[in-house]
């Protein structure tokens, strides 16, 4: 049982792509956030306790009575027709018209990211993503050995000018990205939403350059204020946009059911790719979803979630005002589940998490959302998965350790750090006064002031 | 054959590593024919130990609580034999500042350092002494928490502007931190098993393009050589120093001593010692034992016999 020989024996069999799959100190820290005594604002969880248990029981006994054998059986790779029709209904609720035949049912939205990479990415190919981006997409990009280039955002979403400059720069280097990955609505982790002019421009840029866009839209129906915006898919009409949807946030992540709508040839490859991964998504989940859409009012539940999360968002915004001090800034999400906070650049949020865990509270350190070491002073906070009291107490505890570090830094430098300059309030949009540009952009303006990252 | 309780997990930041170490130790002990009870250390530890009534406890805990003598003290009180160092050696070693004092007093070379508590900065104006400290240690300076076992919270300050932020980071983990002279050179580790020094392991960061202090501790970012290919006499000297540290700190059972080989002078420096070295697939102790012809099961058996 020679240890080193063991290690070498396995390591010699590992594929090249596993070299990018590394463990990290941050991952070990995040594991502790699951302790029961920790208030975790780190998760990305919807509140599934709000789904009526008796409804679940009723629907499942209906499935058992009427379709037991089928629910326990394999099903078509594309998904059950009734589920594909339900998806058409969900997308129509956001003003996006598609045909059920264009829908590919997947095992969670995450599988769409995987299938898109499988279909499009050769090692070294470029994927353009937002900065910060969805941390859960990073291991998928890494597994396919994609070269991820991140484009900054502000309160109106991805900076499309910067995107174009980036594409030009890549073009000059002889590199064409395969696709642009974006969460335009209530972005995870940024909590910001891409404006309508930028949506139009992004779709135009994709068409002009014949690039694909992967529009990841898990939260679109969870809008708490403001007017809904058209999806990229509806603006583009399905020429260059691959749409990713999921039941995770409007029904349950436990059913592990998402979907893709893609241009025909891309759809075909993804479908073939899916056969290799899991043949089909669980029929069990799909029969439940079909029954739910047939017999219950899914819109009513989404309305209830919206009310619940809107309230929790407000509780969190209020708690942040009270506890985070003038040195911190944060985004004001109009929907979704997350907001993004930025601390003074001398605070490293990975280390701060260690301190916060001693106070039994957790968040996601910003570095998780970047591939280039940026984000060291930023954090993601989730408001959908905790109760009002947990949110208030959790934010209070994080605020206390932030204040402790601000005071310590002041002692060390002999200077009271000046509050961050607040942006000029736009008279026509006073509500936006507390919305600040996201960090990546500011960092660029200030130059490389980040330390310890 | 004995009834062995394997203590693992716990609340430390190295919980995951400890669980991996513990699982491998349990497997090895079972293969050796022992009766094994795995215990994820928590608030019910004493109750679970009473219930398990083991002949001996095998410690696979990493980080504070596991390595700082706390659990050892508890086992002493309960009259349960345990692997590794005794309480006083754990206390001396887990606190890097205390360990460095012991080493320096005994003439074992360890890089120059200055240590402070948060109170010193808050209430005694220690910040005013920073320029003098920076001049004495010379940049780059390593800033690290006194009691954290892994590389968490360890930063390399390249200039005076980096120091306050690095201190804030280190204070996230411990109320005491140290600023230490940085030795540019090669990372070495010597494991000691029952007073016998095992072959030297060298950790080589894969990414040569940019020297990144945290990077080297990430699995996959580092390559290990064992036995390390070193200049004449360096391996013997490293082993000698590790044994000196072992004696000075009063270590027992098994331990790992981390050293630096100064690239410019060829001098060896002892950085710190670990009383419960990792036992995972990528850990240095099993690697060193293997190079000495001691397989994993035999290693675990010997550590158990030394309890």
Average pLDDT, integer, range B130-156? 88
- Per residue in A378-401, pLDDT (tens digit) is 999 999 999 999 999 999 999 999
Reported as a pLDDT band with limits 50, 70 and 90, residue B223 is confident
So where are chain B's domains?
3-82, 92-109+183-305, 113-181
Reported as a pLDDT band with limits 50, 70 and 90, residue A355 is very high
Interfacial A residues in 26-55 facing B (CB < 8 Å): 27-29, 31-32, 35
Average pLDDT, integer, range B43-68? 92
Of B17, B164, B171, the CB nearest to A413: B164
Reported as a pLDDT band with limits 50, 70 and 90, residue A25 is low
Mutate to test the interface with B, among A379, A410, A452, A453 (most CBs of B within 10 A): A452
CATH of region B3-82, choose from 3.30.360.10, 3.40.50.20, 3.40.50.1820, 1.10.340.30: 3.40.50.20
Q: What is the DSSP string of B248-275?
A: HHT--SEEEEEEEEETTT--EEEEEEES
CB atoms A1 and B296 under 8 Å = yes
Average pLDDT, integer, range A26-34? 71
Domains of chain A: 20-49+301-416+435-446 (3.90.1150.10), 70-295 (3.40.640.10)
Contacts of A409 in chain B (CB under 8 A): 164-165, 168
According to DSSP, residue A373 is labeled S
- Per residue in A247-282, pLDDT (tens digit) is 999 999 999 999 999 999 999 999 999 999 999 999
Give pLDDT, residue B207: 61
Contact B186, B265 (CB under 8 A): no
Contacts of A21 in chain B (CB under 8 A): 220
Considering only A58-62, A289-293, B95-99, B215-219, which range has the smallest mean pLDDT? B215-219
Give pLDDT, residue B220: 53
Helix, strand and coil in chain A, % to nearest 5: 50, 15, 35
Reported as a pLDDT band with limits 50, 70 and 90, residue A159 is very high
Q: Which long-range contacts (CB under 8 A, 24 or more apart) does B247-250 make?
A: B248/B102, B248/B103, B248/B106, B248/B108, B249/B85, B249/B89, B249/B92, B249/B93, B249/B99, B249/B102, B249/B103, B249/B273, B250/B85, B250/B86, B250/B88, B250/B89, B250/B92
φ, ψ dihedrals at A70, nearest 5°: -70, -40
- Name, in order, each residue with C-beta under 8 angstroms of B117's C-beta and a sequence gap of 6 or more: B175, B176
Residue A333 has pLDDT above 50, yes or no: yes
CATH 3.40.50.2300 fits B113-181, yes or no: no
Look up the CATH superfamily of B92-109+183-305. ATP-grasp fold, B domain (3.30.470.20)
Give pLDDT, residue A33: 75
Q: Is the CB of A449 inside 8 Å of chain B's CB atoms?
A: no
Give pLDDT, residue A406: 94
Q: Is B301 a catalytic residue?
A: no
Contact A348, A401 (CB under 8 A): no
Q: Number of A:B CB contacts under 8 A?
A: 118
Contacts of A452 in chain B (CB under 8 A): 155, 162, 165-166, 169
Mutate to test the interface with B, among A12, A29, A327, A351 (most CBs of B within 10 A): A351
Pairing of β B196-197 and β B176-181: unpaired
Give pLDDT, residue A403: 95
Q: Do the first three CATH levels of B3-82 and B92-109+183-305 match, i.e. the same topology?
A: no
- Name, in order, each residue with C-beta under 8 angstroms of B206's C-beta and a sequence gap of 6 or more: B220, B221, B222, B223
- Selecting among B65, B86, B158, B217, the annotated active-site residue is B217
Q: CA gyration radius for chain A?
A: 22
How many angstroms separate the CA atoms of A33 and A378, rounded?
A: 18
Reported as a pLDDT band with limits 50, 70 and 90, residue B305 is very high
- Selecting among B2, B18, B85, B274, the annotated active-site residue is B274
Give pLDDT, residue A432: 36
Mutate to test the interface with A, among B18, B141, B172, B173 (most CBs of A within 10 A): B172
Contacts of B173 in chain A (CB under 8 A): 351, 354-355
- Name, in order, each residue with C-beta under 8 angstroms of B196's C-beta and a sequence gap of 6 or more: none
Of A3, A22, A408, the CB nearest to B121: A408
Give pLDDT, residue B149: 66
User: Can you tell me the ipTM of this complex?
Assistant: 0.85
pTM (2 decimals)?
0.85
Considering only A254-263, A317-326, B121-130, which range has the smallest mean pLDDT? B121-130
Start-to-end CA span in chain A (Å): 39
Contacts of B41 in chain A (CB under 8 A): none
Reported as a pLDDT band with limits 50, 70 and 90, residue A372 is confident
Q: Which long-range contacts (CB under 8 A, 24 or more apart) does A326-331 make?
A: A326/A419, A326/A420, A327/A402, A327/A406, A327/A417, A327/A419, A327/A420, A328/A402, A328/A420, A329/A420, A329/A436, A330/A381, A330/A434, A330/A436, A331/A155, A331/A190, A331/A191, A331/A192, A331/A435, A331/A436, A331/A438
- Per residue in A296-306, pLDDT (tens digit) is 999 999 999 99
Give pLDDT, residue B67: 86
């Amino acid at each position: 049982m020679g240890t080193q020989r063991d290690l070498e024996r396995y390591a010699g069999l590992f594929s090249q792509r596993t070299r990018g799959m590394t463990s990290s100190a941050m991952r070990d820290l995040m594991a502790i956030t699951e302790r029961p005594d920790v208030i975790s604002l780190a998760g990305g969880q919807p509140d599934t306790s709000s789904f009526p248990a008796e409804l679940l029981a009723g629907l499942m006994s209906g499935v058992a009575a009427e379709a037991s054998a089928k629910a326990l059986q394999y099903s078509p790779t594309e998904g059950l027709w009734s589920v594909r029709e339900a998806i058409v209904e969900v997308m129509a609720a956001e003003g996006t018209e598609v045909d059920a035949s264009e829908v590919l049912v997947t095992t969670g939205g995450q599988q769409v990211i995987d299938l898109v990479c499988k279909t499009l990415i050769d090692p070294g190919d470029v994927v353009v993503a937002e900065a910060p981006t969805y941390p859960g997409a990073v291991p998928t990009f890494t597994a396919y050995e994609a070269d991820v280039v991140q484009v900054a955002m502000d309160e109106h979403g991805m900076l499309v000018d910067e995107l174009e400059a980036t594409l030009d720069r890549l073009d000059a280097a002889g590199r064409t990205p395969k696709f642009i990955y974006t969460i335009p609505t209530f972005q995870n982790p940024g909590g910001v939403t891409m404006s309508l002019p930028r949506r139009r421009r992004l779709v135009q840029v994709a068409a002009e350059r014949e690039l694909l866009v992967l529009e990841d839209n898990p939260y679109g129906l969870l809008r708490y204020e403001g007017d809904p915006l058209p999806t990229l898919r509806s603006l583009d009409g399905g020429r260059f946009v691959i749409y990713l949807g999921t039941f995770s946030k409007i029904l349950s992540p436990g059913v592990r059911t998402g979907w893709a709508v893609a241009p025909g040839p891309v759809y075909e490859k993804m479908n073939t790719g899916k056969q290799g991964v899991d043949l089909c998504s669980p029929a069990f989940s799909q029969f439940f979803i079909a029954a739910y859409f047939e017999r219950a009012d899914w819109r009513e539940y989404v309305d209830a979630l919206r009310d619940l999360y809107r309230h929790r968002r407000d509780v969190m915004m209020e708690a942040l005002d009270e506890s985070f001090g003038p040195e911190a800034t944060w985004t004001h999400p109009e929907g979704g589940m997350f907001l993004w906070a930025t601390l003074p650049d001398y605070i490293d949020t990975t280390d701060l998490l260690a301190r916060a865990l001693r106070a039994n509270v957790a968040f996601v350190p910003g570095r998780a959302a970047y591939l280039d070491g940026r984000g060291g002073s930023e954090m993601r906070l989730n408001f959908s998965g905790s109760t009002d009291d947990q949110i208030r107490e959790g934010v209070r505890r994080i605020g206390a350790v932030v204040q402790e570090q601000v005071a310590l830094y002041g002692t060390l430098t002999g200077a009271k750090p000046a509050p961050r300059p607040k942006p000029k309030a736009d008279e026509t949009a006073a509500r936006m006064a507390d919305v600040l540009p996201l960090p990546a952009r500011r960092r660029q303006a200030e130059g490389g002031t980040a330390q310890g990252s | 054959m004995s009834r062995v309780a394997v203590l693992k997990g716990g609340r430390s930041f190295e919980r995951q590593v400890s669980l991996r170490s513990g699982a491998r130790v349990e497997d090895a002990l079972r293969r050796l024919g022992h009766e094994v009870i795995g215990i994820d250390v928590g608030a019910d530890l004493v109750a679970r130990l009473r219930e398990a009534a083991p002949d001996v406890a095998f410690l696979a805990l990493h980080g504070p609580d596991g390595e700082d003598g706390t659990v050892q003290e508890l086992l002493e009180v309960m009259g349960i034999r345990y692997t590794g160092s005794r309480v006083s050696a754990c206390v001396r070693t887990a606190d890097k500042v205390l360990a460095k004092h012991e080493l320096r007093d005994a003439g074992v070379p360890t890089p120059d350092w200055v240590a402070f508590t948060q109170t010193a900065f808050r209430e005694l104006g220690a910040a005013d002494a920073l320029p003098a400290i920076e001049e004495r240690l010379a940049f780059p300076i390593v800033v690290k928490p006194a009691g954290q076992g892994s590389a968490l919270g360890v930063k390399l300050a390249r200039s005076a502007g980096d120091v306050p932020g690095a201190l804030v980071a280190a204070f996230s983990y411990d109320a005491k931190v140290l600023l230490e002279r940085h030795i540019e050179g090669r990372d070495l580790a010597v494991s000691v098993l029952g007073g016998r020094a095992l072959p030297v392991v060298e950790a080589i960061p894969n990414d040569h393009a940019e020297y990144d202090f945290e990077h080297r501790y990430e699995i996959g970012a580092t390559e290990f050589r064992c036995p390390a290919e070193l200049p004449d006499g360096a391996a013997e000297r490293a082993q000698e120093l590790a044994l000196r540290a072992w004696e000075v700190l009063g270590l027992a059972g098994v331990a790992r001593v981390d050293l630096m080989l100064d690239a410019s002078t060829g001098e060896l420096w002892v950085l710190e010692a670990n009383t419960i070295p990792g036992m995972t697939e990528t850990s240095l102790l099993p690697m060193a034992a293997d190079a000495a012809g001691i397989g994993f099961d035999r290693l675990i058996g010997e550590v158990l016999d030394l309890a």
